[in-house]
Structure 1
Amino acid sequence: MTPVLVFDIETVPDVAGLRRLDDETAALTDAEVAERAFAARREKTGSDFLPHHVHRIVAISCAFRDREGFRVRSLGAPDDPETTLIQSFFKVIERYTPTLVSWNGGAFDLPVLNYRALVHGIAAAKYWDMGEDDRDFKWNNYIARYHMRHTDLMDVLAMYQPRANAPLDALAKMCGFPGKMGMDGSQVWQAFQEGRIEEIRNYCETDVVNTYLLYARFQLMRGALTQDDYETEIDVVKRALASERGPQWQEYLAAFAA
């Protein structure tokens, strides 16, 4: 059984980076620096969603499925620096060579991880291998869009057509899964400023579980799982979550049953 690693990141404005790029921010608070960047972005594009390279990662959550079972965790500790979180993510890839699964990971999560790893000088040899070290990676690697070693489930289901993209929360709920819990991505910056990093990590963890459940449904649809296999897989996830300590899981399982 090839291990499966579902991942999701949460980000905030990279205030330190924004200060380097804007000489007029020296006297501003972090919140003011971010708002200045949001305002400039709104004026330019109509949206305050910042460019990928000025996002700072504050949480990386993973759902991991292998022969030993199903586990869900946020990497590192709440107060760990961004470098530790990113290094931990690429170390998992180095150790297990899993199938990566994401929802919009090709358009957002991985590009942000790429930029932040570059900024911090973090090595990720297995992730970047396109056949130079392992010949199998020439035909199936993490980088190429149409290879399955990284399955961006949103991208695949939309047939690589951005206009057909569906939101994770909506599709999860339509399939009978709980969907998002606690907050959404637009609330992360405010929560981070208020020191609610544990809440951010908990929210991120529910997202990776939603994504894994949709991935199992996808595997059923494409014939990789039988109906019995699929039902067993959903039960594995439920039993694993029932043993987790996080406060979000009781609410999540209750929503599952609703």
Structure 2
Amino acid sequence: MKAKLFQEVKVAIVLLCCVLPTMLQAQDMAFGGMEVTKSNCNNLITAFKDHYTQIGIWGGAFCKASGSVTYDFSTNTLTLNEANITLTVNPSSIDGVVFNVRLDKLTVNLIGHNVINSGTAAFHQSRNASSGKDPELIFTGSGTLKINNKGTRNSRYAGINLYTDGKMVVNCKELNVFSNWGIAIGAVFQYNSYDRSTLSVGNNSALIAKARGGSIAQINNFSMGSNCLFHKPQNAYFDYRKKAICDALGQVITDEVVCFL
């Protein structure tokens, strides 16, 4: 009897060891509230469709998607290939966050022209509690991404919502972020900050941002490649005191900010 019980316990432990790593990995990334796992990571659009078909809102004004979205666990790379995703606020079922990220580092590889219509954050960055490191979000690739944060006054986050001490790097061809309310890119959190949040734009990249609460705001540090300039508006600059891109009069810019070579 004891031998049989011991054998059953061994089997249970082995099964737990096999399942637990997958569970932990899934908790590090969510796509529209749906956990990203090794079983669905190669075809996230289909998994997204199946998930919201079950909820009963797939294909309507709130929720639809096309193109290709995949995630590589070995490199922590999310690839958007001609992806067009809509997940906007429907108070009875979803909050509109598209990609909820709890990784030390996520690389977003862009292929072709991609669009995300969100109800709040298209990308929401959090610190991984296991590592405690400042998270990093990197946009790369030969493609472009247009983010439309259609959230209202009650929208909780920026279009790209960084962790309070998170880092973001733009190394893709073009990243264009619009927020209907609040800010386009920044750290909208109520956690204590150690002034480490950073937004960097590479030499061969274009960054465009616009939001009525601040186009690029609540960022501690900002840098551009040596050949990059603010093309719009003229005389724009990063104000370290206001932690935002400001105009020549020192006002936080709420109109379109454009920086590239």
TM-score (norm 2): 0.24
Could you say which structure has the higher strand fraction? Answer: 2
Could you say which structure has the higher helix fraction? Answer: 1
Which structure would you say has the larger Rg? Answer: 2
